[in-house]
Structure 1
Amino acid sequence: MRDTLVLNASFEPLSTVTMNRAVVLVLTDKAVVEQAHPGLRVRAAAVELPVPQVIRLCRYVRVPFRRRAPWSRRGVLVRDRHRCAYCGRRATTVDHVVPRAQGGGDTWLNTVASCAEDNHRKAARTPEQAGMPLLRQPFEPTPADAMLLALGTDELAPLPDWLTQVQTAA
């Protein structure tokens, strides 16, 4: 199941949390459910509530401005929709365009999602040296893009209505 989007009291997106964490925030009156999964409910001995897709905090939380999305292996896989940058098949690992042995680092612009076979075949070479052109160039997502990408981690499932509305409004 996808993570739950957390909105600030001002309706600004803050982050994503697990469904369990979202339920705890709602039950402790720290958040309210803005959008729920249709037909899904969480039941306990004395309480029943819809499974939250989007929650909004009841109190405003001041967040320091973040210029860049933090790099992570999971973030690269999500950014590239779990598709290999060399062959387009399902990606399970991250490859450095300029290998670390040649001075390449863990950055958004130097890493791409890769299947294990292509990662092994490319080895410690650049794509040009290995004769393996990239199908698409790596890019650095904005912090807001990284959060929206994290919400849509299953490339086979359609995006929920509320997320489509957020993307068209931006």
Structure 2
Amino acid sequence: MAQRKNGRGHRNHRAAVATPGSPSTTASRTLHSVTPAGDVHTVVVPEASIWGRRRVLLLNSTYEPLTALPLRRAVIMLMCGKADVVHDDPVGPVIHSATRSISAPTVIRLRTFVRVPYRARIPMTRAALMHRDRFRCAYCGAKADTVDHVVPRSRGGGHSWENCVAACSACNHRKADKLLSELGWSLHTTPLPPKGQHWRLLSSVKELDPAWVRYLGEGAA
């Protein structure tokens, strides 16, 4: 296979997928990657649409959750020897190469430790807030589908972990711009910002693979 070079004459290590309409893409796609040592890996992947749907949990070598990777990137890391499979999907698609066949991974782990910069406060997103409140309304306990400001913004409330809770549509509509004291309502728990590196992952992922939960702490349950 001809190896492409960038402007500085170095090999391009990014994966390339066979173009649509070629024989390899009729029922599958062919993925090529070049390792730093110059070795070329080729794998045939069924159902090309799985590249866009599937995400793989990446763990540090210490099993600390780092991020959710596209399946394509996770496969390349396995091929290049940078990570190992922790969990795979036994009923999922099988990825074939010239020397091995692996089930599509759901969790992989780095072989070497990566230091993560410390960030004290977790950014608040709708996904993370729902995980924090376990997808339950803070007022009635029903299934939550909205976010409510405990002190309405129209009355000076901020958009923060301490002033936002998950709520059902009925409670959110009934509360409107009123204070809890005006309704005679109370919160069962005090809303606080979550702690732990895994919450950065939860802030960006809406749906979790069941195989991930054991690595993401109580907030993912």
TM over 0.5: yes
Aligned partner of 1:31: which letter?
A
The correspondence for 1:11, drawn from 43, 55, 63, is: 63
Quote the Cα distance in structure 1 between the aligned partners of 2:118 and 2:68: 17
Measure the CA separation in 1 of the matches of 2:181 and 2:151: 10
Whether 2:92 is the aligned partner of 1:40: answer: yes
Structure 1 residues 12-21 or 98-107, which shifts more? 12-21
Q: Percent of aligned positions with the same letter in both sequences?
A: 40
Deviation at 1:29, TM superposition (A): 4.5
**Whole-angstrom distance in 2 between the partners of 1:93 and 1:162:** 23
C-alpha displacement of 1:63: 1.5
Q: What is the root-mean-square deviation of aligned Cα atoms in Å? A: 3.5
Higher helix share: 1
Q: Measure the CA separation in 1 of the matches of 2:181 and 2:60.
A: 46
Distance 1:115 1:74 in 2: 15
Aligned amino acid, residue 34 of structure 1: V
Total equivalences in the alignment: 164
Is there any run of 5+ residues in structure 1 with no aligned partner, and where?
none
Radius of gyration: which is bigger?
2
Residues of 1 paired with 2:216 and 2:147: CA distance?
Answer: 31
Q: 1:74 to 1:149 in 2, by over 3 A?
A: closer
Structure 2 counterpart of 1:75, from 128, 132, 144? 128
Using the TM superposition, give the Cα deviation of residue 20 of structure 1 relative to its aligned residue in structure 2, in angstroms: 5.3
User: What is the TM-score normalised by the length of structure 2?
Assistant: 0.59
Q: Any residues of structure 2 matched to 1:87-106 within 5 Å, and which?
A: 87-106=140-159
What CA deviation, in whole Å up to 9, does each residue of 1:64-86 have, x standing for no partner?
11212211111111111211111
State the alpha-carbon separation in 2 of the partners of residues 18 and 84 from structure 1.
Answer: 32
Q: 1:77 to 1:21 in 2, by over 3 A?
A: farther
Q: Relative contact order, CA 8 A, sep 6+: which one is greater? A: 1
Provide TM-score, normalisation by structure 1.
0.73
Matched letter for residue 36 of structure 1: D
Q: Secondary structure at the match of 1:49?
A: strand
